Each structure stands twice: as C-alpha cells, then as structure tokens.
Structure 1
Amino acid sequence: MASEDAPTSAAARIRGHLESVAHLHAQAQASGFAAAVHQVKQLQARRFRATYGDFLHDRRHAAATRFFLEELYGEHDFAERDAQFGRIAGAIERLFPQAVSQLAVDLAETHALTEGLDHDLARHWLEQAPGAGAAERYVNSWRLTGDRHLRERQLAVVQHMGTELQQLTRKKSLRLALKMMRGPAQAAGMGALQRFLENGFDAFASLGDASAFLAEIARREQHWIGQLFEADPARCAAALADELARAP
C-alpha cells in the first residue's frame, strides 16, 4: 500500500520509514519527552486490550489479536527488529516473493505512522494540566494532534497487512522456508525479525478466514476514531475512561 509518490524500491521504502522512526526516537530523547511517548503508548495498549478483550479470550482469534497488539501497537521498544529489517531490506526484495516484500513495507509504514502520531500526541500530552485524568488528557491531545487522514491511513495499512498475511499462510513452501531459516537467522543476529515473521504466519494460519476478523477490527477502530474526533470531549473522555477500566 505504498503511496503514489513513494520510491518504487521496496528496500528504499522500508529504510525510509525506519529512518523516520529512528529520527523520532532521537528527537524524543534529545527533547526530553520520551517518557511522555511511553505514557501515551501504555494508555493505547490498555485501550486495545480492553477493546479486543473478547478476541484475546477466544481460542480462534487470540493469536492473531496478540500479534496485532504486540507486534504493531505494542508499548515495547522495536529498535532491535527495526535494525534487522533495515540491514536485510535489500535481501527481502531480492529473495522473497513480492507479497513478502510488500508485507515488510507495510510493517515499516505502520511503524512510522504510529511513531509519528504517538510523538505528536506526547507533545500535546505534556501541555495538558497535570491534574487532568489520563482519558481527558488523551482526548485533548488527540484533537490537538489532528491528522485524521493519517489515522485512516494507519488503519488501512494494517488491514492490508492482515490480508497479505492470510494470503501468505496459504503458501506452505514459505512456512517451511521460514522454519529452515530459524537457525541461520539466529546465528546472523536476526532473531527478532525471524520471530515477527513466524508469529505472523502462525497467528493467521490458526485464524483461517481472516475477513470477518479484519472487518471487526476496522469497525471498532473506526468507532474510536469517530468518537475521538467528533464526540463531545467530556463524554468521549468518560467513555474512554470506562474502556480503560475494562483492560485486563
């Protein structure tokens, strides 16, 4: 799902997105708001766990849900995986089918979009009154950040990634090749990247037909995007606080 003005090379797109993420991390450290970024990520992770609590407790959907929440929207540091992706971006483009290359591009773009939005949220988070509740601060920060088109793009790329993963799980030769790569990948310092690929394949293989799962994610996220941009701020903050309270 590369934009029309993006470089044509998958490797160039991957590296470009990862460079943007690295720049954002360096900027947050230098400007002293890295802790606020982490606070924003923690709150969002709680909201996702609450919104998809039913999927996390359903045997069919649990693995795919954890994959999305931990590998795409997790609150932990992805620097190791990013570095590994950057080092082998060219090899991914040369050695794997186009669908695998596009999956890597989508992952990198999702990562860059998420980090950019989270860093903007964090800046506005620090501007809010410290005594305000977390939900109120988040709603205000979201609206000050704006960029609804980037929110919509973020969701669209994640949806496309899920569709790609489902298609790739039907290629048994690819899953076998991944298993055979496990030892060499670990030896080459590519363990984090290997785990990401294996987790994605296994999660969507266990899911079966992913269309209903992806449609429900889109429905729930569109609901929250609409609420966070359009609902009365006080009511939205109350609804968000209620949602956060349900998080395990």
Structure 2
Amino acid sequence: MNESLPAADRIRAQLCSVSALREQARGEGLGAAVSAVKQWQARRFRASYTDFLASPVQGPAARFFLDELYGDHDFAERDAQFGRIAGALERLFPDAVTELAVDLAEMHALTESLDHTMASHWLAIGDREADTRRYARAWRLTGRRDARERQLAVVQHMGAELQRLTRSKSLLMALKMMRRPAQAAGLAALQQFLERGFTAFGALGDAHSFLATIGERERHWIDALFDQDLDTCCAALDAELCATRP
C-alpha cells in the first residue's frame, strides 16, 4: 500500500480488498472453511494467552486483541462504518487516531487474505487428517512469511499507539462525547472499537512487557509453523491446546 496516499484512501482500499475476498469466498464455497480457520486461530490465541486472559490487568487488552483482531466474528458492520467515516477521520481526529484506523484496516485485509488462502488449502486437505496437522499444513502451503511478520508488527504498533493515546485526557473526553452522535450516525461499532481499545490499554499501565510477550510468543509460533518438523510442531500445538481445556 502506498503510504503517501491519504489515510482515507488507504482505509477504503484495504476494506475493498476485504469485501472482494469475502465475495470470492462465497462464490468459491469457501465460507465454512474460512470460518473454520478463524475459529482455529482464535483457539490457538486463547491457548497461548491463558495467563493474560485470566489477569485483571492484562485481560482486557488480551481480550481486545482476541475479539477485535484475532476473533472469528463478522466484522462487516464495523467495516462499513469505517468506510463511511474514513474521510471524516482526518478532519475530526489527531493524526495518530487516523493512523490507528489505517493499522486496523491493514491488519484486517492481511488477515482476510491469509485466511482465504489457508481456507483453500484446508478444504483441499480435507478431514482425512487431524485438525492440528490440517491447520499446520494449510499454514505452510499458504506461505507468505513476510505477511505473517507484518501482521505482528501492525498489532504491536496498534498496541503501542493505543496506550500512548490513552494519556491524552482531551482525546478521552472527546471520545466519550462522541457516543451519542456516533450512535445516531450509525457508527456504534466503530465507537465501541475505539472505546474498548482505549479502556483496555488505559488500564494496562506500562504496555511494553505485554507487547514484548506477545511478540515473543507469536514469533515462536510463526517460526514453528514454518520451520519446525511437522510432527514436532503438531505435538506442541496439541499440548498447548490441551493444557487449556477444562
């Protein structure tokens, strides 16, 4: 994406990409497979961050990432709202808030593209293999390590920016004042995203350790899923998932 383009154009381009991939998935019969991949990734995230999710301090930030970035939710409504307000973001908000929206749109488009390709491989592999091995093989067949690394970089940048922005009392006040106008304008999902992020990272304290741990754990799985012996990788995935089951 050309970073010299206005933020609104970058946001709209990313959201158009997501919309096109969704339409393509429906046309190719990939909807269920895409959903399966997203559900699997949400399970893995929950398994990797049980300590964070159980923490009263780190839990809200971890759940924010899980629900808003890694979850298997339908974000169509939020996407539409971001698309409608993209032009206004640059007029109404500081540059950092606008760039946060750009980050979200890029993360969303990256994830949708990777999930779409993984779903094709997931479907082709079929249920003749256990889900853990099916997932790991689909990951490797998808490739695009650079895109996985970029996903992680964008998530960490979003976290750092969210915490930095929570220090602005005037911005927090403006966000609270936006609740009713946002709801009246049909932008409730966008407002909820911003408020949840600000609340979660405002309560976190110093986010450096939190974000560093996410970087360490996600890089571990990126390396394992690409480079580790497949049987060893699948055994490790199974062990992590089993450890979190009731």
TM-score by length of 1: 0.97
Could you list the runs of 5+ residues in structure 2 that have no partner in the other structure?
none
Unpaired runs of at least 5, structure 1: none
1:35 matched to 2:29? The reply is: no
Provide the identity percentage.
Answer: 62
Q: How does 1:200-239 map to 2 (within 5 A)?
A: 200-239=197-236
Give the whole-Å Cα distance in 1 for the aligned partners of 2:99 and 2:214. 21
Could you tell me which residue of structure 2 aligns to residue 165 of structure 1? Answer: 162
CA displacement at 1:188 relative to structure 2: 1.1
* Distance in 2 between residues matched to 1:74 and 1:104, nearest whole Å: 18
Cα deviation code 1:8-28 (max 9, x no counterpart): 200000000000000000000
Q: How does 1:153-192 map to 2 (within 5 A)?
A: 153-192=150-189
Structure 1 runs of 4+ aligned residues shifted over 6 Å read: none
Within a 5 Å distance, the mapping from 1:33-72 to structure 2 comes to 33-72=30-69
2 CA distance for matches of 1:59 and 1:129? 40
The alignment partner of 2:206 has SS state of coil
What's the secondary structure of 1:240's corresponding residue?
A: helix
SS of the residue corresponding to residue 12 of structure 1 reads helix
Given the alignment of the two structures, is residue 199 of structure 1 paired with residue 209 of structure 2, yes or no? no
Give, as a single letter, the amino acid of the residue that structure 1 aligns with 2:62.
Answer: T
Partner of 1:81: 78
- TM-score by length of structure 2 reads 0.97
Residue matched to 2:8: 11
Distance 1:183 1:203 in 2: 21
Deviation at 1:138, TM superposition (A): 0.5
Q: Deviations over 1:42-73 (max 9, x none)?
A: 01100000100000001110000000010011
Aligned partner of 2:110 in structure 1 is: 113
Give the aligned partner of residue 243 of structure 2. 246
Deviation per residue, 1:149-172 (Å, 9 max, x gap): 000001001111111101100001
Deviation per residue, 1:114-166 (Å, 9 max, x gap):
11001110000011142211100011000100000000001001111111101
Taking the aligned partners of 1:159 and 1:184, their CA distance within structure 2 comes to: 30
1:47–1:247 contact (8 Å) kept in structure 2: no
- In structure 2, the residue matched to 1:137 is 134
